[in-house]
Structure 1
Amino acid sequence: MASKSNPKAENMKGFYRQRKNSSIGGTSKTKTSQSAAHPKATAASFGSDVISHGSPDLKVDYDEQEELLRQFDMNMAYGPCLGMTRLARLERACSLGMNPPKEVENLLKGGKVCSECLWDGRI
């Protein structure tokens, strides 16, 4: 048997005509490099006019002791740290049998570090 073409399929092809997107917007433009057209477009390049006002090294503001305490603040194994001091959180963790690090306890009971958690006043 010879197969006949499906008239519905031909109508669908005519209705949903496929076109190649040779140019978007109907005009053909030659593409130029953005950096060639605008020399200031790559502001992060060497010799740029952009001035950074922030410190790229965020560890300048605190030392190794504060880093250890911040790690303690971020460790959710000892419960939430918002709304309480670091020492209160440490004592709560000890009373619940969570065994927080002894270094943190020594730092907090020494009294020479910030007693507020990392997120105090930021959230």
Structure 2
Amino acid sequence: MASGSKAENMKGFYRQRKSNSSIGGGISKKKKSRSPAHPKAAAAASFGSDVTQPTALISHGSPDLKDDYDEQEELLRKFDMNLAYGPCIGMTRLARLERACSLGLNPPKEVESLLKGGKVRSECLWDGRI
């Protein structure tokens, strides 16, 4: 039989871990703390932050996400979005209005007066986007 006890053989088989003050054991290095370029940059991502939206997303006092259009265009866009008057892809707003009238769908009179006035965009909201 082999010399020595089973405990001695096991110690030789398994590596011993050195006890160290750090949790993982082994050599510990100091971690460098990375400070953000701007002192409030780290706080901007946190919940409940008082940091406002960056100015890069705002131009001329209004968010870039909203197009500038008036009330007339808003009414015409609602007409474009209303599927009760049929599809609007591939035709002008006036052609869609006339088709809706011929089918008895009763489109709003305000839309008709705006389109026949000629001072608004004749293409639908989706023209060139789809």
What range describes the TM-score normalised by the shorter chain of this pair?
A: 0.5 to 0.7
Q: Are 1:42 and 2:49 matched, yes or no?
A: no
Q: TM-score, normalised by structure 2?
A: 0.57
**Contiguous gaps of at least 5 residues in structure 1:** 1-26, 28-37
Deviation of 1:71 after TM superposition, in Å, equals 0.5
Taking only the aligned residue pairs, the percentage that are identical comes to: 74
Does 1 or 2 have the higher relative contact order (CA < 8 Å, sep 6+)?
Answer: 1
The whole-number CA distance in structure 2 between the counterparts of 1:68 and 1:40 is 38
Cα root mean square deviation, aligned = 2.7
**How many pairs are equivalent?**
87
* Structure 2 counterpart of 1:112, one-letter code: K
Q: Take 2:48 and 2:126, find their aligned partners in 1: how far apart are those partners? A: 32
Are the aligned partners of 1:43 and 1:49 in contact in 2 as well (CA < 8 Å)?
no
The answer to whether the 8 A contact 2:43-2:49 is kept is no
- Of 40-49 and 105-114, deviating more is 40-49
Higher helix share: 1
Give the 3 Å change call, closer, same or farther, for CA 44–91 of structure 1 in structure 2: farther
Question: Could you say which residue in structure 1 is the equivalent of 2:17?
Answer: none
TM, length-normalised to structure 1: 0.60
Matches within 5 A, 1:103-118: 103-118=110-125
In structure 2, the partner of 1:64 is: 71
- Unpaired runs of at least 5, structure 2: 1-23, 25-41
Which consecutive segments of 4 or more residues in structure 1 shift more than 6 A? none
Corresponding residue number in structure 2 for 1:8: none
CA distance in 2, matches of 1:52, 1:98: 45
